[in-house]
Amino acid sequence: MTTDHLMHTYARLPVAFVRGEGAWLWDEAGRRYLDALSGIAVCGLGHAHPAVAEAISRQAHTLLHTSNLYQMPLQAGVADKLARLSGLDQVFFCNSGAETNEAAIKLARLYGHEVRQLAEPKIVVFESSFHGRTLATLSATGNAKIQQGFEPLVSGFVRCPYDDLAALEDIARTEPDIVAVLVEPVQGEGGLRVPSAGFLPGLRALCDAQGWLLMLDEVQTGIGRTGHYFAFQHYEGLLPDVMSLAKGLGNGLPVGALLARENVARLFGPGRHGSTFGGGQLAMAAAGAVLDTLEQEGLPNHARQMGDYLQSRLRERLGQLPMVRTIRGQGLMIGIDLSDPAPTLVRRALDKGILINVTAERVIRLLPPLIFSASEADLLVDRLGELLEEGL
């Protein structure tokens, strides 16, 4: 069904899904598709997970909205769980990844003005990064293509090559007004780039030495996606000052969360930031069910094991194909770097009954649900093999 009354902000594929279960979706004609994208890392528990469905249904029949003017026991419960799982102290709830990164940028500026006593605090961001599509997060993003047409951009960002500590040390020597570093532990939109083992620990050490905040954008890497609850937990002893979450936290309901250490979080006093719908009753019911299910079913560990299995099978099946350059990733966040752009690949994959994504023009992005099984991984590998053997 089409209409002229929707803004044309998306190049939509010619399919409408009407039902989902686990890693599978069904269209209007009853054909089923293996979902290796999970709504771009949103539905980590898969579609129609019974624990989430039950929590949402129960809450919808109880109370939908009250406002953050009042006590919110559901918010407190989810905040306690996130603090326990992350080691950070306090949480602010909002609705999306862009909104939580926007809050992180505001918090860094407060830190710059009130703690560092700087008139024009600046934040280091990285080339090929993606932090959202609001004006500030768009300005922080390292992709000129999506910034084009929206100038003038928000100032106060200093750009650095990703995974390049030497370049960041140069910035530390020449830019006295830096207050924070905003970075993705694994770049998603930038082409599934996993940094070298010393990059994040090096960032932590440099931030400590310079008095900068280390702010991790875990919007895509968080909530079990990479094999730990949060990607920074791959590095022993590393803890950020600020962390952004969204996507998988609500398993389909819009939830964002900004986490911070207490000494930074306290800068957000009453009236300094807010969100009308942030941390609403329905979203918190879903987030609570997601976090409980992740723990009860051990899904971060399953994602790590299944990610290793899927990468191994991909290398066996695709590794010798001439157009495949590298296969990389962490947990169930996997990229297949191709030799050339592949503009038709997503549509052709749809015809084969698999849902994938291509980012950075030539990197197949796989973000299957954390419940993905070995048989589903085998099916995905076989169909990707057939697809690539037919050419780009």
Query: Is 266 annotated as contributing to ligand binding?
Result: no
User: Looking at 92, 122, 126, 217, which residue is catalytic?
Assistant: 217
Query: Is 275 annotated as contributing to ligand binding?
Result: yes
Q: How far is CA 59 from the centre of its chain?
A: 26
| Known active-site residue 247 | yes
Residue in 32, 1, 86, 15 with CA at minimum distance from that of residue 291? 86
Q: How far is CA 335 from CA 47, 148, 314, 346, 389, in A?
A: 22, 26, 10, 14, 18
Query: Is 97 annotated as contributing to ligand binding?
Result: yes
Answer for the pair 165, 198: CB distance below 8 angstroms, yes or no: yes
| Known active-site residue 217 | yes
Q: Phi, psi (5° rounding) for residue 328?
A: -145, 165
User: Looking at 92, 130, 157, 230, which residue is catalytic?
Assistant: 130
Rounded to the nearest 10 degrees, the angle between the axes of helix 299-318 and helix 374-389 is 30
In the DSSP assignment, the letter for residue 235 is: S
By three-state DSSP, how is residue 294 classified? helix
Query: Is 196 annotated as contributing to ligand binding?
Result: no
Q: How far is CA 364 from CA 25, 55, 304, 327, 356, in A?
A: 20, 34, 19, 9, 7
Query: Is 217 annotated as contributing to ligand binding?
Result: yes
Q: Phi, psi (5° rounding) for residue 172?
A: -60, -35
Query: Is 130 annotated as contributing to ligand binding?
Result: yes
Q: How far apart are CA 318 and CA 42, in angstroms?
A: 27
User: Looking at 92, 126, 247, 268, which residue is catalytic?
Assistant: 247
| Known active-site residue 157 | no
Query: Is 133 annotated as contributing to ligand binding?
Result: yes
Q: 187-224 burial by CB neighbour count: b if 16+ within 10 A, else e?
A: bbbbbbbbbeeebbebbbebbeebebbbbbbbbbbbbb
Q: Per the structure block, which two tokens stand in for 347?
A: 């549509």
Q: 340-376 burial by CB neighbour count: b if 16+ within 10 A, else e?
A: eebeebbebbbeeebbbbbbbebbbbbbbbbbbeeeb
**What is the Cβ-side half-sphere exposure of residue 24, based on CA atoms within 13 angstroms?**
9
Residue 239: Cβ within 10 Å count? 16
Query: Is 60 annotated as contributing to ligand binding?
Result: no
Query: Is 218 annotated as contributing to ligand binding?
Result: yes
By three-state DSSP, how is residue 331 classified? coil
Answer for the pair 93, 279: CB distance below 8 angstroms, yes or no: yes
Query: Is 220 annotated as contributing to ligand binding?
Result: yes
What residue numbers does the annotated binding site for N(2)-acetyl-L-ornithine cover? 133, 275
* Catalytic machinery residues: 130, 217, 247
What residue numbers does the annotated binding site for pyridoxal 5'-phosphate cover? 97-98, 130, 217-220, 276
